[in-house]
Amino acid sequence: MLRKFLLAGVTALVINVVPAQAHGPIFSPGPETLYKDGVESHLEYHRSEKGDETENELAWAIGYGITEDWLISAELPYVRIKEDGNDNDGIGNIALETKYRFWRRDALGKQDSVSGFAKAILDTAKDTSDPALSSGANDLVLGLAYGQESLIWQRWASIRYRFNGDSDAGIERGNRIFADAAIGWRSEIPQYYKPDLLWMVELNTEYTQRSEQNNISLADTGGTEIFLSPGMIWAYRNFAVKSGVQLPVYNNLNGNQSTSDYRAKFALEMNF
Amino acid sequence: MHRLILIITLVVFSGSAYAGEKEHLMQVHGAVCPACAYGLEKKFMNIDGVKGFDVDFESGVVSVCTDENIEFEEEELVTLFKQSGYTYKGEEIRDTCTVPEKT
C-alpha cells in the first residue's frame, strides 16, 4: 500500500501542462505569457510507462492574460493509471498557476525574457482506490524560466522546486527539483500566413529527495532521472500542435524503484 | 493601343491595392514567430476601419491596411504593441495597401 502512494506521488504529479507555450518548450516551462486579455485553450494527452505501471492523462488547461506580462491558468486532468494488472481512472489533481514575466528585452527579430511562476496542485483526485490517482496532498511548485527567441534559433532554461505535501498515509514525500534546458530550431524565417514548424530538443533533469515516515527515510524513494526529449511544434497563427517524447538517458534512483521507460506528449493549443 | 493594353493590364493585376485605403508600416522589436504575433493581429483587427494585417519578421515590419481616414496616435500604438508583448519603434504611411484583406 505504501508503495502505491509513493508511486502516485512520483507519476501522476510530474506532468507539466503550462498554457501560453505555443512557442515555448514542450516538457518544461518557458517564460512566455499571453497578450493582454488573451485567452488560451490547451488540450493535452500524456502517456508514460515505468516498469509495470502505465499512466494516461488527458488534460485541459485554460489561461488568461491579465496583462501582457501576467498570466493565470487552470488545469483539469483526467487520469488513468494501470499498475500490477489493476487500473483506475478519474479526475486528477486540479492545478492553478500564475506566471509573471518580470524582465524582457526586445530587439529586431529577437526577444529575451525571464518569468517567475507558481503552481498549486490541489488534492482533488481520488486517492483511496488502488492504484491511487493522487498521493493525497497539496503540492506547490515555484520556478524561474528564461528564454531567448530569435527567427531561427530558440534557447530556454528553467528551474523548478516542488514542495510536496505530506500524504494521507503520513508520508513526508520528498521535495523535487527540476532543471531544464531546451533548444529550438526552424529551417527558415517564419511568415505570418504560412505554417511555422519548429524542431526542439530538451534536456530534463529531475531530482527527488527521499521520502520519510516517522522521521525515517524510506529506502525505495528519491533519486535522479535525466531525459533527452526531442519534439516539434507546428503552428499556424493562433493554432499550434505540439508533440514530443521524453527518453531516459540517465537514472540513479535509490533502492528498488522502476525507472522510466518513456513519456510522450501530444497537445493542441489555440489562442483567442 | 499599346498604352490602352498597358493600362488595362495594370488595373487587372493591381487587385491587392485597394482604393480609398492606406497602409501603416510599423517597426516592431521582439516579434519572432506567427503564434506569438497573433495578439497584435487580434488587437488591430478589433479596430474599426482596419482591413488587413501582416508581419514581416525579418524586417520587423507590421503592416496594417486601413480606411483612408484612419490615423493612429503614437501613444495608442505604443500601448497596443506593449499589451501584445512587443516594443513599438515607429510608423510610416503608404498610399496603397499590399497586405491580405480580411473578409
Residue B47 pLDDT level (bands cut at 50, 70, 90): very high
Q: Please tell me whether residue B77 adopts helix, strand or coil conformation.
A: helix
Count of residues in chain B: 103
In the predicted structure, residue A166 carries a pLDDT above the cut 60:
yes
Q: Which of A101, A68, A110, A272 is nearest to B79 (CA)?
A: A68
Which residues in chain B are contacts of A36 at CB distance < 8 A?
39, 83-84
Cβ partners under 8 Å of residue A119, min gap 6: A95, A96, A97, A98, A140, A141
Confidence at residue A19, expressed as pLDDT on a 0 to 100 scale: 55
How much is the mean pLDDT over chain B?
84
* Single-letter amino acid code for the residue at B74: E
Chain B contact present for A90, CB below 8 A: no
Q: Which three cell numbers stand for residue B22?
A: 492606406
Please name every residue paired with A218 in a beta bridge, in sequence order, or none if there are none. Answer: none
When mean pLDDT is compared across A103-117, A160-174, A234-248, the lowest value belongs to A160-174
> Phi and psi dihedrals of A98, rounded to 5?
-130, 145
Residue A236 burial (10 A CB sphere; 0-12, 13-18, 19+): middle
Q: Which CATH architecture has domain A2-271?
A: Beta Barrel (2.40)
Give tens-digit pLDDT for A20-41.
566 789 999 999 999 999 999 9
Give tens-digit pLDDT for A83-133.
888 888 889 999 999 999 999 999 999 999 999 999 999 998 876 677 878
Residue written as cell 492553478? A96
Give tens-digit pLDDT for B72-94.
999 999 999 999 999 999 999 99
- The domain made up of B17-94 is a member of CATH 3.30.70.100: yes
Q: Which three cell numbers stand for residue A260?
A: 522510466
Confidence at residue B8, expressed as pLDDT on a 0 to 100 scale: 47
In the predicted structure, residue B17 carries a pLDDT above the cut 60:
no
Chain B contact present for A193, CB below 8 A: yes
How much is the mean pLDDT over chain A?
90
Give tens-digit pLDDT for A56-74.
999 999 999 999 999 999 9
Q: Which of B27, B29, B38, B44 to mutate to test the interface with A (most CBs of A within 10 A)?
A: B38
Give tens-digit pLDDT for A41-50.
999 999 999 9
Chain B contact present for A240, CB below 8 A: yes
Do the strands A86-91 and A70-83 form a parallel or antiparallel pair, or are they unpaired?
Answer: antiparallel
Q: Could you tell me if residue A223 is left (phi over 0), alpha (psi between -120 and 50 degrees) or otherwise beta?
A: left
Q: Searching chain A, which residue's CA lies closest to the CA of residue B63?
A: A192
Distance of alpha carbon A175 from alpha carbon A173, whole angstroms: 6
Residue B54 to residue A193, Cβ atoms within 8 A: yes
